[in-house]
Each structure stands twice: as structure tokens, then as C-alpha cells.
Chain A
Amino acid sequence: MAKITFIDSNKIEITVEADSGSVMELAVQNGISGIDGDCGGVCSCATCHVHVAAEDMDKVGAANEIEQDMLELDDNVNEFSRLCCQIQISEQLDGVTLTVAAE
């Protein structure tokens, strides 16, 4: 089981738990404001953009090339950006904090 903390688009901190699936699915199931996941998680819509806390980057890992190509055209991209549909939940993610990127 991994505890994941979201800071949503209203700056509200919400911690939820899961052991499988993608982080986007977890966020949508828990109504995290600012995470839409319109495309269902296939890396097509970029509506699940988060900034990973700097200290958690090692746990979460970097985006692959296809994801980077999507992020590159997002106005709010930075070195901590990920599309969270591409982050799979595992024990390793326990304790990470993800901030929903502004639109």
C-alpha cells in the first residue's frame, strides 16, 4: 500500500492510499481537483499534469520520450513535471507529494 499526497488546484492537500493502477486513476477516483484524465490514461490529453516534489523525483522517476514530447508543449512544464497517467502505483511511491499543475 502506498500513501500519496496530492495538492489540488485549490491548494488543498489530500492524502489517499492505493496499491495498484495509475496515479491518474487514483486522483480521478478521489475527485482531485485539476486532474481530469480525459483520455483514460493513454498519454493523449495532458489533463493529468503534476509537479513531483523535488525530494520525491527519485521514487517517481522521469518521463519517457512520448510523455516528454507531450509535456514540452505545456506552458507550466518544469523539471519536476509528469503526466500522472504514466505513473504506476507501487510500494515505492509511498509518501510522495504531487502538486497539480496549473492550467
Chain B
Amino acid sequence: MENSVLPDSFKQARESKGIGKVEDQNDPVTMVLGLKDVRKCAHNWKTFQSGAKPGRIVIPSEVNIRETRQIPFEVDPPAHKGFRDLIDPWFKRPLESDYQAQLKSIIDDIIDHSLQQDSVEVVGEFALKLQSRALTVLLNIPYEESELWIGWGKHVFRSEDTDLDGDKAAILYDYIDAQIDKTAANLDQSLYALLLNSEVNGKKLSKEEIKGVMILTFAGGRDTIINAVTNSIAYFSEHPESLTQLAENPDMSSIAVEELIRYFSPLTHMGRVATEDTQVCEHAVKADTRISLCWASANRDERVFENPNEVVLDRKVNPHVGFGFGTHNCLGATHARQLLNILITSLAEKVSTMEIQSQQDNVEDWGEFQRKVGYDSLNVKFTARKY
């Protein structure tokens, strides 16, 4: 019962210092580890800004592979609000029943297909396909487009041998440029068209701004959803009793999703740049240096969560930061929540057992911390529930 465990790599540093340090391309990062500190820093966008040089708040830094500012992610208030107000209603569409029906159809197809195989490599054959197909619903574009994205592989920016692959990133950026031009010539009902038709803060969005929103939408929801889906399959493989619990209590699926997000923390951390000399946990942070808000550590803070290293699917009070916190909380959270909710509900309905046959863990290297965030590969045998 060890294969699906995601250990808390930060416990000792969180308890003793409250911070950690990681080197990144000569731009070191002070990682903030405790839940309250993470929330305070996330809230304080004036001192810990997102609107730094594009790519710098991402860790590892993308300043060498990206010039386009991701929007609204890398814009601070007050300009942030206009962008966020424009696109928030679009990103709340997952609350509509038609949208949920489309997601359910995509998810049921993948589960039904998996039940017919002797073995499924979950990262590439299940999670990547699910993420890509679901993204067509979020963008409101034809389903077939997902085939191209699936062909790009598991990571938008990463190749086998490097964490940051400029050539691979260029594929995405060039693709988005072409899609914006194509939509401008023939307006449809997609997110591209919404952005092309809109004004923010009194003026039409530039192509660069539209590109910034689209890069965020593609990149922010790729590894994260793949990690969340793959970890969910691994967890339920080793906890069939939890699947039964969900099948018997379908009403608990939404709080179960929150607990899975807390435990998995699909995005380990996100950076900010200090705008002034300040301090975090009594450690000096100099102006123009980076901190990171370590969601993964905060979500295991024993001062807030009872039994933080256990998945308690019906955890009632769960103030996790798996979708971030404050001004820049996750734009795609509504989509991700619905996707995971439908996924675990359908798994509970259709699947009796999942058996892990082999796995290769994806362990991130953050200086003094090595954190398992998911899997490079996970081979699973799915068996149908018999009624």
C-alpha cells in the first residue's frame, strides 16, 4: 500500500525554519512552507508581485524561453481585475449542465476503453487524453483538435532530458499564434473569439494579450490535471474501499475532490518577486529576489490539518491551498473540480478494482527537497464493477 503515497518532503524544514532554499538558474528562491505564511504572502501582492519579468515567477524560471506575459496570471491589481472580470464567467461555464455532460461523455469513453485493455499506461493513455479532450470543452472548440495536443506529449515545456525546452515551448506559442489568426478571420464561439471581441480596461485586447491568456490556459492546466488524474487512479487502485465508499455516497464526491487536491497538491509551488526588502518567518528577503508559495507543504501543515498525511475523503473542514490563494487563485479550478468530480464518480460506478502493475515515480528536485508529485508512467489493469 505504498505505491500511491505522496510523502511530505517539507515537514522538517517547515517545523524548524518555516522556509527552504532552492537554486534556479542563478535566481535563487526562498520557499515559504507554512499554511498561514503562504496565505499571507499570497494575499500581499504589493510586496510579493506576480507582474515581474514574464516567466520569472514560474519555477523553474521561464525567462529564457518565453517573452509573452501570461494573463491574468502575471499581471497585478489594479490592471489584473479587468482581465479577470472578463474571463471569469467563461471559466465558470463548467457549472453548466451541458458542459458537465460533455465532460462526462469524454471521461466515460476513456474509462470504458480502459476496462477493455489488459493494461493501461495511465499518464499517456488516460490522463493526457482526458486532459486534452476536456480542454476542447473549456475552449469550446471541436473535439478533434485534441488529437494534435495529445501528440505533443505529456509536457508542454519539457522533453526527456531537460526541464525547459525552448523548441518545445515554441511549438505551443506558434500554434496559438496561428489559432488566433485563424479565428480572427472567421469568428466562432470559442475562447479565442471571446478574447478577440472584448475590451479590457477600455481598450481592445492586443494579439499579444490574447496569446498571454491562451498560453496560461494551455500550460496551467496540463501537468496539473495530468498529475491529479494519475494520482487519483493510483490512490483508488490501492484503496478500493474508498471507491466503494464513493459509490455508496455519491453526495460526498465534491468534498472528496477537495481532499484529493489537498493531498496531491498537483502544483508544488509558485513564485513571486519581492518589490521591497522584507522578511518571511524572520528570514530576510531582499527586494528583487524571489520567494515561492509552497502549496504542497502548506497543505500538510500539521498546525491546521489533523492527520495531514492521510487521505480523509470526507474531511469536512479543509482550508487547503491546492488551487492557490488570493488574487491569483487558479482560474481553471472550476473546470478541474468538475473534471475530477465526474472522474471519481464514474470510476466508482464503473470500476471494481484497479491493479498497479508497474510505475515510475515523477520526483521533483527542489534543492534540499525531493518531492514526488506524480508518475512518469503508471501501468494499471482496470476491472469492471459487476452489478
Contact = CB atoms under 8 A, between A and B. Distances in A.
Interface of A: 38-45, 66, 69-70, 73, 86
Contacts of B40: 73
Nearest to B81: A103
5 contacts: A42-B258, A42-B317, A43-B319, A44-B258, A70-B319
Contacts of B283: none
A45 B255 CA distance: 13
Contacts of B304: 66, 69
The A contact surface, by secondary structure, is: loop
Residue of B258, B319, B320, B321 with most chain A CB atoms under a 10 A cut-off: B319
A42 B255 contact: yes
A42 B43 CA distance: 20
Given A45-B329, A73-B40, 11 more contacts: A40-B255, A42-B258, A42-B317, A43-B318, A44-B258, A44-B318, A44-B320, A44-B322, A66-B319, A69-B304, A70-B319
Interface of B: 36, 39-40, 43, 254-255, 257-258, 304, 315-323, 326, 329, 333-334, 337
A41 B255 CA distance: 8
A88 B39 CA distance: 26
A14 to B, nearest CB: 20
B42 to A, nearest CB: 8
A70 B35 CA distance: 11
Contacts of A40: 254-255, 257-258, 337
4 tightest Cβ-Cβ pairs between the two chains A and B: A40-B254, A42-B318, A73-B43, A42-B258
B322 to A, nearest CB: 8
A29 to B, nearest CB: 13
Contacts of B36: 69
B258 A73 contact: no
Contacts of A66: 304, 317, 319
A27 B254 CA distance: 17
A42 B337 contact: no
Given A66-B304, A69-B36, A44 B319 contact: yes
Contacts of A41: 254-255
A40 to B, nearest CB: 4
A66 B40 CA distance: 14
A39 B254 CA distance: 8
A77 to B, nearest CB: 12
B39 A73 contact: yes
A53 to B, nearest CB: 25
A15 B294 CA distance: 42
Contacts of A42: 255, 258, 315-320
Contact of A38 (B43, B321, B337): B337
A12 B142 CA distance: 40
A66 B333 CA distance: 22
B333 A38 contact: yes
Nearest to A39: B258
Contacts of B255: 40-42
Nearest to B326: A73
A45 B39 CA distance: 12
B319 A69 contact: yes
A86 B254 CA distance: 16
A25 to B, nearest CB: 11
Contacts of A69: 36, 39, 304, 319
Contacts of B257: 40
Nearest to A36: B92
Contacts of B316: 42
Contacts of B254: 40-41
A36 B317 CA distance: 17
Contacts of A73: 39-40, 43, 326
A40 B222 CA distance: 24
Contact of B334 (A38, A43, A86): A38
Nearest to A74: B43
A43 B318 CA distance: 6
A69 B254 CA distance: 23
